[in-house]
Amino acid sequence: MFDLTHKTSIITGGGSGIGKAIATIFAKQGSVVHILDLDENSKRVIEEISAAGGKSFFHRCDISQQAEVKTIVEAITGANKSIDILVNNAGIAHVGTLESTSEEDLVRLFNVNVKGMYNCMHEVIPVMKKTGGCILNVASVASHVGIPDRFAYTMTKGAVMGMTLSVAKDYLEYNIRCNSISPARVHTPFVDGFLQKNFAGREKEMFEKLSKTQPIGRMGQPEEIAHLALYMCSDEASFITGCDYLIDGGFVKLNN
């Protein structure tokens, strides 16, 4: 089950955290994995996958630039003839209310979280129309509920869900499935960096506080998100499209 042998996958933001976990498990399950990321440290992920017997490639790419995405997708298609899976994982965050969010910050988040996702789907879908495929967009619990001081981030993740539904509807006849997943807080290097930057000397205290905002009592692990992503992109999920799946330790439904 969940075999991805002979499938070619593109994973954006695959250099760390959730993206790294997805890239690693997809390669383990037999997929040829292409990581699109700005972080040159993504090469370490490629080395780890190779050491474990998997096959993967790193492409330095600013997904907010359509021309860059187009060039890379064309190169991947030329080598593999098809693209079977696209995981739109790359994203950035911002803390602030509407009043404290500058226009510059709003545009910066839009360019990566919304336009970047559009760019990737815009270039990959014409390829998938020939053979079918699966797209998985990473949204957030912020797509479902209001989270304090996350105006711009919530706006972009709401757009992710809208794009997911639209693409799922428009490409049914081409056997292209499009879904999204909505994680809550997941313990990634981003979280550690955020705590160090904003709560120096109180990292442990704030980590526990943030963990307890989820009814299950802890943050998720990147591998747990990757397991859901694997299912959603496997043939076992062939009857699922146009859906969003919460993976949030009960954050949305059980926080009363």
Same domain, 123 and 106: yes
* Candidate list 153, 171, 174, 231, residue with the active-site label: 153
Residues 26 and 148 in one domain: yes
- Tell me: the pLDDT tens digits for 96-138? 999 999 999 999 999 999 999 999 999 999 999 999 999 999 9
Q: Does residue 191 belong to any structural domain of this protein? A: yes
What's the structural domain count of the chain? 2
Kindly report the average pLDDT of the chain as a whole number: 96
Annotation marks residue 153 as catalytic: yes
Q: Is the pLDDT of residue 145 over 80?
A: yes
Q: Check residue 170 and give its pLDDT.
A: 98
Residue 131 sits in the same domain as residue 213: no
- Confidence label for 256 from pLDDT (cuts 50, 70 and 90): low
For residue 60, give its domain range.
8-184+221-250
Same domain flag for 14 and 118: yes
Pick the closest to residue 11 from 1, 2, 26, 3 (CA basis): 26
Residue-wise over 120-156: b if at least 16 C-beta within 10 A, else e? bbebbbebbeeeebbbbbbbbbbbbeebeebbbbbbb
Indicate the pTM of the whole model. Answer: 0.96
